[in-house]
Amino acid sequence: MSSIKRSAVVALSGFLLACAAHAGQAAAPRKATAPAKKAASAPASALSAEFDKFRDIMEEASPAELFEAKGEELWKTRRGPKNASLEHCDLGLGPGVVKGAYVRMPRYFADGGEVMDVERRIVHCMVTLQGFKAEDLAKRPFSSEAGTPDPVSLVTYVAGQSRGMKIAIPQKHPKEREAYKVGEAIFNYRAGAWDLSCASCHSEDGKRIRTQDLPNLTTKKDAIRAFQGWPGYRMTGGLMHTLQWRMNDCFRQQRFPEPGYVSETIADLLTYMGVNANGQVYKGPGIKR
């Protein structure tokens, strides 16, 4: 019994070492782990440089393109109970305008009265224009061995139409500014079994989990890393994932309750992180390890 307990403690301290214990943690274990952290930091960054090289090679032939093509077909095809295409879907730049829409979302939409990120908006269009049921779309929203849900391919297509453009997420409407504020609050909200927040791991420079360097999402320089490369094709499993999935997984990793698919919470969080990345160039759908 006690050995089980001890190994649990070891595992937990290992996690904190990697994720870098936040300020509130007891001083003693931090001191003890400091030399180990120093020793490990050099090979880790060399390793992530190798990952970057690998990603550069893979980007040249990213399977994300296959999903862009699939998404384009879905966008233009008449589908759903109302037998309509999405070519009248307004992504914020007018009905049917896809070019440049991705780098200007999340934004406020008067017809829904809400701030929507790209996937939330696409689902909104699929429901209002094509007559799909939101509950059905939320049943299996993420890519798996069973297949790639349509919204995922659609998001990838829309994202591809903003390749090489500057991120310019609007903050004009009061609701958009409110979404940023709420998003920031969610980012810093500590809760759950491990008392973590997004900020626990993503508000300091030079932190990592295992070999993964963690971006400090509160800084201008790193904020792009929460935007770049998404939606992304994950080589592990060969699945296409969007930011909806990524946020869902962050919540899972924090031992939070599962957020609702295309919920306001996620739209707010994506507003906060997206606006912080404003002004930087988006390279289009990416590829992940």
Partner 1 sequence: MADPMRIRAVAKDGAVSVKILMSHTMETGQRKDDAGKLIPAHYIQQVSATWQGKVVLSANWGTAIAKNPFLEFSFKGGQKGEKIQVTWTDNKGDKRTDEATIN
Name residues contacting partner 1, limited to 237-256 (CB under 8 A). Answer: 238
Q: How far apart are CA 194 and CA 284, in angstroms?
A: 35
From candidates 61, 94, 135, 172, binder to partner 1 by CB under 8 A? 61
Choose between 148 and 197: whose C-beta lies nearer to partner 1. Answer: 148
Residue 239: its H or E element? strand 239-241
Measuring CA to CA, how many Å separate 13 from each of 30, 121, 288?
9, 41, 28
Binds partner 1 (CB under 8 A): choice among 59, 65, 90, 114: 65
| Cβ closest to partner 1, residue 60 vs residue 135 | 60
**Cis amide prior to 81 (ω within 30 degrees):** no
Residue 1-40 contact track with partner 1, rule CB under 8 A, x = bound? ----------------------------------------
How far apart CA 176 and CA 10 sit, in angstroms, is 43
Query: Nearer Cβ to partner 1, position 47 or 66?
Result: 66
Comparison of 43 and 147: residue with beta carbon closer to partner 1: 147
Should residue 145 be labelled a site residue for partner 1 when binding is judged by CB under 8 A? Answer: yes
Strands 285-288 and 229-234: parallel
* Tokens describing residue 13: 């301290």
83 neighbors 72 (Cβ within 8 angstroms): no
Please state, in angstroms and as integers, the Cα–Cα distance from residue 247 to each residue in 58, 241, 273, 276, following that order. 24, 11, 11, 16
In this structure, what token pair is assigned to residue 153?
């391919």
Listed ranges 58-66, 172-180, 246-254, 264-272: which one lies at the site for partner 1 (CB under 8 A): 58-66
- Contact region with partner 1 (CB under 8 A), list: 13-21, 59-67, 167-175, 274-282: 59-67
| Min CB(235)–partner 1 separation in Å | 8
* Rg (alpha carbons) of the chain, rounded to whole number: 20
Find the part of the chain contacting partner 1 (CB under 8 A) among 2-10, 62-70, 92-100, 263-271: 62-70
The CB density around residue 1, as the number of other CB atoms within 10 Å, is 5
212 forms bridges with which residues in the sheet?
A: 209
Angstrom distance (rounded) from CA 275 to CA 224: 10
Residue (of 154, 132, 134) closest to 79 by Cα position? 132
Residue 61 CA to residue 254 CA, distance in Å, equals 33
Q: Interface mask (CB under 8 A) for partner 1, residues 206-235, using x and -?
A: ---------------------------x--
**From 66, 93, 138, 165, residue interacting with partner 1 (rule: CB under 8 A):** 66
From 19, 89, 198, 250, the catalytic residue: 250
Rounded CA gap, 115 and 125, in Å? 14
By CB under 8 A, the count of residues binding partner 1 is 10
Minimum distance from residue 64 beta carbon to partner 1 (Å): 10
- The CB-of-72 to partner 1 minimum distance in angstroms stands at 11
* Whether residue 89 lies in the annotated active site: no
Complex with partner 1: residue 73 or 205, whichever CB lies closer: 73
**Residues assigned a catalytic role:** 250
Binding positions for partner 1, rule: CB under 8 A: 60-61, 63, 65-66, 69-70, 145, 233, 238
